Structure 1
């Protein structure tokens, strides 16, 4: 699931339009498919008009509603009303596995993702109908992570230096004073910039990844997709085309992206015409792979720009939220810093700053995996849109038009699956990997029925290997270059619907003073 804009940013007139239009067709929609769902218990109200009230309640109290459903119906499933349909929530590994194995023509991951962000209006229908960029992420991007690691680390170092001061001069640098002083940094805003730059070093390379306007475009696009998708989803289906025109800024984003990417694309095509498919210093980045794979209309600058923007949306949104959570946890748990620094020193002494080294930093990996278990980006994962009625082994049939999701947030906090699940244990997973036969298990990128930040099965997040590599490199950089501490109390995340939104808070940074100083 995606997070949403602050509710205060939404005009009251919009709520009025939503309410009037939705209530007009509410009874018909609910009556059309609720009968076949009567065997599934409801959290909230089931009756048509009141169920809409429960859908509104879910926006503000979604975490409590999901916890209520999990507590009452663990091992089975329950339903929660949304503005125009029902979400069926699965609560057991067995049901999750059955949904995972279902064919795409019956339970569709792509269709559910499309609905979540209203892709037709916010990014473009072709991204779903012809997702060739996903295959590039699964193949070329993953295969080349080792070769590209040097550039990634270089960009991480430069972007941190430009954003958070190590020499007294940075975006949040104090005007006067020694670099030994603590500097207050609004974390989420800073991490957005760092993730955008670092990711685009891999996507489009230098110098474009450092262009201020290009960075602003990709960050704004990410936010606008989230906001537009949220607003469009508040409207009934028959009004969504109108809402799409009202809230989506896709045309202007594509035009702006084209201005940045067209010269780069045209220069690369000129080189191919003159020198063939291989030439000295030919870029090996995501844009080049897209250009080589695109066919027909997908070769146009606007469509290539669309793929770059959508890839940025996935990378910036998830990684920025995840790393913000991780920084809060790091600042709140100084006792784990010495062990991670010691591990980094030992691994780098043998393998240098490489992707291979990242793979050997088990405690660092465990720390990030535990952050994702406890914080994550959403309380529901593995969305599936029901194209054809689906019957689970318990005999319950889900009708066409419903959406199925898995209660990942509740599962991650369930003591049955995770000992002392409510306790943040930074090395929980690295300790488990010390057991016989589990050396290669429980890694950040590993998916299991009890651990679902990246989903599970064939539709697990294809970019998780890139994301994990980037996040580990960023955390290692922070540990080796900075001391960090919280400005105040630990900032608790907010929940809007099923989305987990990091609290806006400051973390204090200073240049690292001693090997294990906090």
Structure 2
């Protein structure tokens, strides 16, 4: 049976119009109103409709009624946290509809000492003023979960990342073993950065124009893969493309599904997140041979197949995340599927954030030629045989200061420490919040606080360099340092475990680009605008062009 054509639909419309006209003429003596005539016609059509279509219409009408009831009555009046007396604000409308900063500035003036809420895509966020960051950051995952927030709000219910419990194996491995290994990985990862630049940028004896965002994403993915999965997978273009595309597929699924009512979202998410899930399965397929070989070699080198980290000599530990995880696994965890999940989780979480971070750092450097020269001098002072020694990658204080200042100014999100409560919590301010409440902190007014930073609205690349000159502060204020004064990495028990690895990746790439290339923006161009998204995140223009050529010394 084919679809009805335009002509057949037109004929049906004309027939209904003719019936209505005949009925109107026949019933004219009764002096019925148009509404009464409409009801008579509707009753006639209903009697002439087949039972199957009647059932379909009833289901459709019931569904629309339920959606309307949920959207206009239950959510705003029954389930809303406004019933607890929490004041509500709304983001800007019109051209700046997704820019949360005006709303946060208004809240800082109106509610400096109490939580407030706003709604986004059917979710309500309870925002705590920056003064309460210490109270929020201390909450353990069993009470307030970051992963629950990401899974529910960002990923449409799809479990694309692992557990946020700081005691889990991946968290311990990334925060401890991988962080300790960045030094031994240094030379190999510098070589990976060189190969990545040669492949992505290509020969450029003269100025070449490239999209900054996509170029840096390519470089980050290739450089990170060496430390996460090792060779040969780190050179496999299929793996590298999949790593690049997974966060994009998740972002598309989020953007589209959030335009639908929450009651429909589980169904909608199944469809629009399916490309991300297929990419996830494809990555698992590509990773399985690497994991299988690593497990085989690990078991051969450990005759009794002991898998606890405390049972393995230091010399037997590998220098990729795959091998480091195996030395940490408990016997019940030691299986290929678990290893694949953990590696994909680490890969997914690291690539986009690292690429966006280095994007803004490079922009800030290009806009300041004197700073670029100073950073090159710092690099040249520590290089040996054209390479950066592993110990210096952890330092480079001027570059590190620039990186931290960029993280302060060019934030990913105006809100920080986002969590979903796993149990009711009574904070020191405001009402007791029920299980399932989304909480967060006004991060923007921490990063721009005049009580914490002098001239907070000025980009000062040496701000943290000077802070580290103070007695007792020599090891503080580093790019990878977490604390309540800078929430780039989160804080507390659920702080980002891969921050040392990510910071090391950025330094390797910045060093290689500054030493080997000249960089500039197109004539007349300044700092690119930041793009605001519906969830309040702030992203760069990935297609923003920059110019690059091989350096002429």
TM-score of the aligned structures, taking structure 2 as reference length? 0.78
**How far apart are residue 454 of structure 1 and its match?**
0.9
Q: 1:461 aligns with which of 490, 496, 519?
A: 496
- CA distance in 2: counterparts of 1:274 and 1:359, whole angstroms: 34
**How far apart are residue 211 of structure 1 and its match?**
1.1
- CA distance in 2: counterparts of 1:128 and 1:455, whole angstroms: 12
Q: Is residue 269 of structure 1 aligned with residue 295 of structure 2?
A: yes
Once the two structures are superposed, residues 306-332 of structure 1 have per-residue CA deviations (whole angstroms, 9 ceiling, x without a partner) of: 332221111111001111111111111
- CA distance in 2: counterparts of 1:242 and 1:411, whole angstroms: 38
User: Which residue number corresponds to residue 244 of structure 2?
Assistant: 219
Q: Which secondary structure state, in structure 2, belongs to the residue aligned with residue 144 of structure 1?
A: helix
User: Which residue number corresponds to residue 176 of structure 2?
Assistant: 139
**How far apart are residue 227 of structure 1 and its match?**
2.5
Q: Is residue 42 of structure 1 aligned with residue 88 of structure 2?
A: yes
Q: Is residue 323 of structure 1 aligned with residue 362 of structure 2?
A: no
- Does 234-243 or 496-505 show the bigger shift? 234-243
- Whether the 8 Å contact between 2:90 and 2:119 is mirrored in structure 1 is yes
**How far apart are residue 501 of structure 1 and its match?**
0.6
Q: Is residue 259 of structure 1 aligned with residue 285 of structure 2?
A: yes
**How far apart are residue 30 of structure 1 and its match?**
3.0
Q: 1:25 aligns with which of 70, 93, 108?
A: 70
The structure-2 alpha-carbon separation of the partners of 1:450 and 1:76, relative to structure 1 and needing over 3 Å to count, comes to farther
Question: What is the correspondence of 1:351-430 to structure 2 with a 5 Å cutoff?
Answer: 353-430=388-465
User: Which residue number corresponds to residue 495 of structure 1?
Assistant: 532
Larger radius of gyration: 2
- Whether the 8 Å contact between 1:355 and 1:469 is mirrored in structure 2 is no
Once the two structures are superposed, residues 210-239 of structure 1 have per-residue CA deviations (whole angstroms, 9 ceiling, x without a partner) of: 111111111111211232244445555543
- CA distance in 1: counterparts of 2:382 and 2:530, whole angstroms: 33
- Whether the 8 Å contact between 1:197 and 1:209 is mirrored in structure 2 is yes
- CA distance in 1: counterparts of 2:327 and 2:187, whole angstroms: 24
- Does 288-297 or 503-512 show the bigger shift? 288-297
- Whether the 8 Å contact between 1:37 and 1:399 is mirrored in structure 2 is no
The structure-2 alpha-carbon separation of the partners of 1:55 and 1:313, relative to structure 1 and needing over 3 Å to count, comes to farther
- CA distance in 1: counterparts of 2:281 and 2:426, whole angstroms: 46
Q: 2:111 aligns with which of 57, 65, 73?
A: 73
Q: Is residue 206 of structure 1 aligned with residue 206 of structure 2?
A: no
User: Which residue number corresponds to residue 308 of structure 1?
Assistant: 343
- CA distance in 2: counterparts of 1:275 and 1:87, whole angstroms: 51
User: Which residue number corresponds to residue 270 of structure 2?
Assistant: 245
Question: What is the correspondence of 1:62-141 to structure 2 with a 5 Å cutoff?
Answer: 62-93=100-131, 95-118=132-155, 120-121=157-158, 123=160, 127=163, 131-141=168-178
Q: Is residue 158 of structure 1 aligned with residue 195 of structure 2?
A: yes
**How far apart are residue 119 of structure 1 and its match?**
6.9
Q: 1:286 aligns with which of 316, 321, 329?
A: 321
**How far apart are residue 375 of structure 1 and its match?**
0.6
User: Which residue number corresponds to residue 187 of structure 1?
Assistant: 212
Once the two structures are superposed, residues 370-425 of structure 1 have per-residue CA deviations (whole angstroms, 9 ceiling, x without a partner) of: 11111121111111212333233234433332211111123212333222222111
- Does 243-252 or 334-343 show the bigger shift? 243-252
Give the number of aligned pairs: 475
- Superposition CA RMSD, Å: 3.1
- CA distance in 2: counterparts of 1:63 and 1:240, whole angstroms: 27
Once the two structures are superposed, residues 120-139 of structure 1 have per-residue CA deviations (whole angstroms, 9 ceiling, x without a partner) of: 42526x65689532222122
- CA distance in 1: counterparts of 2:95 and 2:334, whole angstroms: 45
**How far apart are residue 291 of structure 1 and its match?**
4.4
- Whether the 8 Å contact between 2:139 and 2:493 is mirrored in structure 1 is no
**How far apart are residue 294 of structure 1 and its match?**
5.1
- Whether the 8 Å contact between 1:55 and 1:82 is mirrored in structure 2 is no
- CA distance in 1: counterparts of 2:93 and 2:438, whole angstroms: 14
Q: Is residue 336 of structure 1 aligned with residue 371 of structure 2?
A: yes
- CA distance in 1: counterparts of 2:222 and 2:136, whole angstroms: 37
Q: Is residue 510 of structure 1 aligned with residue 545 of structure 2?
A: no
- Whether the 8 Å contact between 1:122 and 1:229 is mirrored in structure 2 is no
- CA distance in 1: counterparts of 2:87 and 2:260, whole angstroms: 25
TM-score of the aligned structures, taking structure 1 as reference length? 0.83
- CA distance in 1: counterparts of 2:436 and 2:540, whole angstroms: 32
- Whether the 8 Å contact between 1:373 and 1:451 is mirrored in structure 2 is yes
**How far apart are residue 297 of structure 1 and its match?**
8.4
Once the two structures are superposed, residues 39-89 of structure 1 have per-residue CA deviations (whole angstroms, 9 ceiling, x without a partner) of: 3222129xxxxxxxx899996233332332234323433211123231011
Q: Which secondary structure state, in structure 1, belongs to the residue aligned with residue 158 of structure 2?
A: helix
In structure 1, the gaps of 5 or more residues are 1-17, 46-53, 169-178
Q: Which secondary structure state, in structure 1, belongs to the residue aligned with residue 481 of structure 2?
A: coil
